[in-house]
A and B are shown apart, each in its own frame.
Chain A
Amino acid sequence: MHLLKLGLRPWKLAFYSQALSSLVVAVLLLMIALFVWFDRGLGPLISRMRTEQVITAYLLPYDGPMDESAPVASAAAATTLILEKAQVAVGIAGVIRLIGPTEFLEELRRKEYATLASELEEMGSELTSIVPRYLSIEGSFDEQALERVREIPGVESAESSRNRFAAVVGAFASIRWVNRALILGLFLALATGLVHLGRINTQIHEEPLRLLRQWGANGLLMSIPPLVSGASVGVLGGALAAGLWLSIGMQFARQLKGLSPIFVNLPNPHASTALVLAIIGLAIGVVSTLFHSTARSPVRT
């Protein structure tokens, strides 16, 4: 009980140092949590943008059987064959849609080009010669998928969206590294704060620990006051960080997700992170006692 009192003495003798340390621990932990959340979300996002693509394969107009060895009787049958071959080319992960004149017009209307769609529709039978037929193949594919699609008989040409995202992927990768550098910087700031806290508490605990040693206290008892001091700052810092996460952090993360459609797939911020922050806060407080150098005695103990 009295050792607990000794442990809480720094709050009495250096209140602002202890309180400010708790606040700094809380704010730094909150920022670290946000950056870690962003980093963890960016990883899959970048990976998806690197591998996900839309291959657009433009089809030749049906002009009789394309393959002499396996003749097909109609345009529909030929298209079905192309679809099957495209599925084989990209694997089961690919989602293939055949875009014909009808689907093309629907797409235009959906994109709020209703007038253009109506004008095209009025062209009647000529529409089929103006509007291209193509396959839209979405999914994550290997490097050779585009080539395989191009080689399908009946495919006039094919292009991939992959290169369109290359610049964005590069920018996100850079942001991710900057984010990681910031996390490291925040950890260093946290460590620096803890070293200073440890030094302040060393001075405050010096005389009591000298007395405890003189009275025959063992190492375990001697460790209680610094441990209580460090843990009290850590517990308060962790609790504040948890509160800040629940009140500000989660809201901030949701707002960040809403800033761009690309961020929609970032993970949702979890309330359970608050518990993790509280535990980390306590651990940080306890670790700060490692920076506590106990008073030396000429006679070994």
Chain B
Amino acid sequence: MIQLRSVSKNYSGNTSVLDQISLELKKGDFLYVLGGSGAGKSSLLRMLATEEAPSSGTLALFGYALSQMTPATLQAIRRSLGYIPQNVRLLPDLSVEDNVALSLAVASTRALGNDARARIHDLLDKLGLSAMRSKPAGGLSGGEAQRVAIARALVRKPELIIADEPTGSQDKEFTWSVMDLLLRANLTGTTVVIATHDREIVQRVRKRCAVLRSGRLTFEEGAFCTF
């Protein structure tokens, strides 16, 4: 599902944010991307979400090399992705429900059916956002906005979830609600990649880890990780 071979990423300066990263994930895998601030977690996730291209090396998603994808393939892959960025990027003037529903609009230009509406309501309910359904997203707190972004990614039933610090602004209660939703999605075969620095999550929900230090993937193991 995800294959990185000697991937590096440089920005306008010469600093190498990611340096010769290699990684492979199969369908249904669950991976934590760990590392301190500035280690390159977000850069790696942005590349996995096809928001950025590697400076060198090969990144393949769903068996297709990013550098050789046709626009149609790239669009199809993006429709199979659920990306939760660190900067949640909600549309502040739209309601919470419309923000979530909008991500489904890519699949169909028609009005949403009852099933889709039920799925949206169910997700908002699970994330404690039912009461705010019709409120403008601009009035939400950081944690609430992050949960809307999570709902927006999950409502599309993606095959691959890429979440950048999805619990970073959550209190304990909602941290576990979010993790529960991600784990449930993983149980149905969805591949999940989470960047986090929350030790408690990593220790309680034991999964594969990739640790980034100064742009290098210094640790990746097949079993459980501790850091």
Which stretch in A4-12, A140-148, A173-181, A286-294 binds the other chain?
A: A4-12
B105 at the interface (CB under 8 A from A): yes
- In the complex, the chain A residue whose C-beta lies closest to that of B72 is A218
Scan A206-228; emit 1 where CB is below 8 A from any B CB, else 0: 01101111111110010010000
Contact with B along A12-41 (1 / 0, CB 8 A): 110000000000000000000000000000
Q: Chain B 60-79 against A: per-residue CB contact (8 Å), 1 yes, 0 no?
A: 00000010000110111111
| B52–A3 CB distance below 8 A | no
CB pair B98–A298 under 8 Å, yes or no, is no
Complex: A5 Cα to B98 Cα, angstroms: 9
Contact A298 B53 (CB under 8 A): yes
Out of A208, A214, A300, name the residue touching B83 (CB < 8 Å): A214
Decide yes or no whether B160 CB sits under 8 A from chain A: no
Q: Considering the complex, which residues of chain A in the window 213-263 have a beta carbon less than 8 Å from any beta carbon of chain B?
A: 213-218, 221, 224
Contact A216 B78 (CB under 8 A): yes
Distance in angstroms from A174 CB to nearest chain B CB is: 53
Q: Is the CB of B52 within 8 A of A207?
A: no
Is B111's beta carbon under 8 Å from chain A?
A: yes
Binds A, one of B87-95, B164-172, B196-204: B87-95
Known contacts A211-B89, A216-B75, A301-B71: does B52 contact A1 (CB below 8 Å)? Answer: no
- Contact of B187 with A by CB under 8 A: no
On chain A, the residues within 8 Å of B105 by CB distance are: 1-3, 212, 221
Q: Which of A139-198 contact B (CB under 8 A)?
A: none
Residue B50 interfacial (CB < 8 Å): yes
Interface size on A, residues (CB 8 A): 26
Does B53 lie within 8 Å of A1, measured CB to CB? no
User: Which partner residue on chain A sits nearest B50 by CB separation?
Assistant: A299
* Residue of A2, A9, A214 touching B78 (CB-CB under 8 A): A214
Q: Cβ of B49: which chain A residues have Cβ within 8 Å of it? A: 214
Q: Are B52 and A212 interface neighbours, CB within 8 A? A: no
Q: Which residues of B contact A213 (CB under 8 A)?
A: 78
A129 within 8 A of B: no
* Chain A residues with CB under 8 A of B50: 214, 299
Q: Which of the four size classes fits the interface of chain B?
A: 20 to 34
| B66–A1 CB distance below 8 A | no
Assess whether B51 is in contact with A12, with CB atoms less than 8 Å apart: no
| Residue A297 at the chain B interface, CB threshold 8 Å | yes
Q: Contact between B53 and A299 (Cβ–Cβ < 8 Å)?
A: yes
Q: Which chain A residues numbered 255 to 301 have a C-beta less than 8 Å away from chain B?
A: 297-301
Q: How far is the CA of A89 from the CA of B125 in the complex (A)?
A: 97
Q: Indicate whether B223 reaches chain A with its CB closer than 8 angstroms.
A: no
Nearest to A1 among chain B residues (CB) is: B111
Contact of B106 among A1, A13, A215, A299 (CB under 8 A): A215
Is the beta-carbon distance between A12 and B93 smaller than 8 angstroms? yes
CA distance A211 to B80 in the complex (A): 14
Q: Is the CB of A3 within 8 A of B51?
A: no
Say whether A9 contacts B93, CB under 8 Å: yes
How near does chain A come to B115, taking the closest CB pair, in angstroms?
15
CB distance from B101 to the nearest CB of A (A): 6
B109 partner residues in chain A, CB cutoff 8 A: 1, 3, 221, 224
What 3 pairs across the A-B complex have the smallest Cβ distances?
A216-B78, A216-B79, A2-B105
Beyond A216-B106, A221-B105, A298-B52: 6 further Cβ-contacts under 8 Å? A2-B104, A2-B105, A211-B102, A214-B51, A221-B109, A301-B74
A-B contacts, 15 listed (Cβ < 8 Å): A1-B112, A3-B109, A5-B98, A9-B91, A208-B102, A211-B103, A214-B50, A215-B79, A216-B81, A216-B106, A218-B71, A218-B75, A298-B53, A299-B74, A301-B74
Q: Which residues of A contact B (CB under 8 A)?
A: 1-3, 5-6, 9, 12-13, 207-208, 210-218, 221, 224, 297-301
